[in-house]
Copies of this chain bind each other. A is one copy, B any other.
């Protein structure tokens, strides 16, 4: 079935209830108006997924495309220590997509959005040759809580949440049709990544934290922090958290994927050494994995990886850079 009417489609994807009904008016009007809470600042971000670049119909179901597009944005809000509140969706639709598939994309967003009580408050629907899905998220964070990349200081502990490289491993499985059923956790890491909002909230209670989400790969995120803070970062190869499944799937590529694979949506950052034990304990209580992977030294914006044998290698920005692909 092809879409014969934009208006009918838009009606179809209208949310049937609002979590923040008292704060929103004008949905479906020229623009949405959102109320402003005292004591909070607004967080805004946008993330776009393009067919053939970020996904294909083989690697992602429509539901997952929607889920992941929203997840990437929620992850950006988490990396600022905030809560997500609202989202707007701009979708460019090729004729070959059925109305049912399009509905699934929105269902995927809805499914994740509901976990965070987020409201879909607007969007734009256009036709085009390639599916392009842009999601715009608005969140909030307490006044002056700013978990910026530029907050790293000499002596800080560098940490990362969860495990890294799983999403890249999952994509490899999907691209080469290898044992997808045996490595479901890796495939799920690629298709339905979990943004770390709870950890972001825990981190927002600390005095000073530098923070990034792992969207382009650990190496790239570390370099962004090092550059923004004008420090050097040293991480230890052996401490990088790599999952057993990823080791089992491809031990040779596991480290490479951990450093440059991206789309893990874990949080990476730094915290004063004096706060590390408290952070570790709070994560333990909340049931979240967090790992000390290195330290911050004086420098001018570089990042290095050290091996147990003492070898030191400089990390380059080899993250997910669309323009260098194919």
What residues of chain B lie closer than 8 Å to A52, measured between beta carbons? Answer: 128-129
Compute how far the CA of A36 lies from the CA of B85 in the bound complex, rounded to whole angstroms.
Answer: 15
Interface locus among A86-94, A180-188, A303-311: A86-94
User: What range describes how many residues of A lie at the interface?
Assistant: 35 or more
Interface locus among A56-64, A119-127, A288-296: A119-127
Q: Is the CB–CB distance between A126 and B48 below 8 Å?
A: yes
Q: Is the CB–CB distance between B136 and A25 below 8 Å?
A: no
If A26-B146, A30-B149, A48-B134 are given as contacts, then 8 extra A-B residue pairs at C-beta distance below 8 Å, sorted by A number, are A6-B323, A30-B45, A31-B80, A31-B139, A46-B89, A48-B126, A125-B322, A130-B132
Q: Is the CB–CB distance between B138 and A44 below 8 Å?
A: yes
Question: With A43-B31, A50-B126 known to touch, is A92 a contact of B132 (CB < 8 Å)?
Answer: yes
Residue in B closest to A44 when the chains form the complex, CB atoms: B32
Compute how far the CA of A138 lies from the CA of B41 in the bound complex, rounded to whole angstroms.
Answer: 14
Q: Is the CB–CB distance between B33 and A141 below 8 Å?
A: yes
Q: Is the CB–CB distance between B127 and A323 below 8 Å?
A: yes
Q: Is the CB–CB distance between B92 and A48 below 8 Å?
A: yes
Query: Which residues 40-97 of A sit at the B interface, judged by CB distance below 8 A?
Result: 40-54, 75-77, 79-80, 82, 86, 88-90, 92
Q: Is the CB–CB distance between A127 and B45 below 8 Å?
A: no
Taking the closest CB of chain B, its distance from the CB of A145, in whole angstroms, is 9
Q: Is the CB–CB distance between B43 and A33 below 8 Å?
A: yes
Query: Which residues 107-162 of A sit at the B interface, judged by CB distance below 8 A?
Result: 121-130, 132, 134, 136-139, 141, 146, 148-149
Taking the closest CB of chain B, its distance from the CB of A28, in whole angstroms, is 8
What residues of chain B lie closer than 8 Å to A324, measured between beta carbons? Answer: 4-5
Q: Is the CB–CB distance between B321 and A33 below 8 Å?
A: no
Taking the closest CB of chain B, its distance from the CB of A236, in whole angstroms, is 25
Count the copies: 2
A212 interfacial contact with B, CB 8 Å: yes
Compute how far the CA of A172 lies from the CA of B181 in the bound complex, rounded to whole angstroms.
Answer: 55
Residues on A lying within 8 angstroms of B by beta carbon are: 3-7, 9, 25-26, 29-38, 40-54, 75-77, 79-80, 82, 86, 88-90, 92, 121-130, 132, 134, 136-139, 141, 146, 148-149, 211-213, 228, 317, 321-325
Q: Is the CB–CB distance between A148 and B25 below 8 Å?
A: yes
Residue in B closest to A38 when the chains form the complex, CB atoms: B38
Residue in B closest to A50 when the chains form the complex, CB atoms: B128
Compute how far the CA of A121 lies from the CA of B211 in the bound complex, rounded to whole angstroms.
Answer: 19
Q: Is the CB–CB distance between A323 and B3 below 8 Å?
A: yes
Q: Is the CB–CB distance between B44 and A88 below 8 Å?
A: yes
Q: Is the CB–CB distance between B92 and A30 below 8 Å?
A: no
Taking the closest CB of chain B, its distance from the CB of A69, in whole angstroms, is 11
What residues of chain B lie closer than 8 Å to A134, measured between beta carbons? Answer: 46, 48, 90, 124, 132, 134
Compute how far the CA of A38 lies from the CA of B26 in the bound complex, rounded to whole angstroms.
Answer: 20
Compute how far the CA of A319 lies from the CA of B325 in the bound complex, rounded to whole angstroms.
Answer: 39
